[in-house]
Amino acid sequence: MKKWLLLMSAGTLMSPGVQAQTYPNFTQGSMTSTTTTVTEINETIAIERMGGDYTSYSGFNITPSGAVGADATTYSVTNAGEEFQFEIVERTAGVIETEDITRVIEQTSTKNSLSVFSQ
């Protein structure tokens, strides 16, 4: 029995799996890191411009047959052969203009880090 224990302990001492612990042999060092971030924003701005009722009459050398702007009114040149101009602008209340602005915003940012250590 003693011989058997002696052989077992001798085999354990010669085993290649047993190694001495090692410790790093440096006194200082550094590490760098770079992080890049890409951001893309798709944006649409929808604009509706509102307006109230608007009616405007302007001109010269024109004679209306009735109330200006009425459906049955006719218009004739007052002095034939001379310049004339007549304009009626009518707008009902509501949306008078729409505008859509679409844009893409792209941003790339890079962060560099440096860590210095010593023992």
- Over 80: is that where the pLDDT of 7 sits? no
Q: Which residue has the higher pLDDT, 41 or 5?
A: 41
Structural domain contains residue 55: yes
pLDDT 10s digits, 71-110: 898 999 999 999 999 998 988 999 989 999 999 999 999 9
Q: Assess if residue 88 is contained within a domain.
A: yes
3-state secondary structure string, 69-113? CCCCCCEEECCCCCCCEEEEEEECCEEEEEEEEEEEEEEEEEEEE
Domain contains 18? no
Q: How large a percentage of the chain has pLDDT more than 90?
A: 55
Range of the domain at 63: 50-94
Does residue 13 sit within a domain? no
Residue 78 forms part of a structural domain: yes
Residue 12 DSSP SS3: helix
Does residue 27 belong to any structural domain of this protein? no
In a domain, 58, yes or no: yes
Residue 90 placed within a domain: yes
The total of structural domains in the chain comes to 1
Cβ neighbour number for residue 46 with a 10 Å cutoff: 9
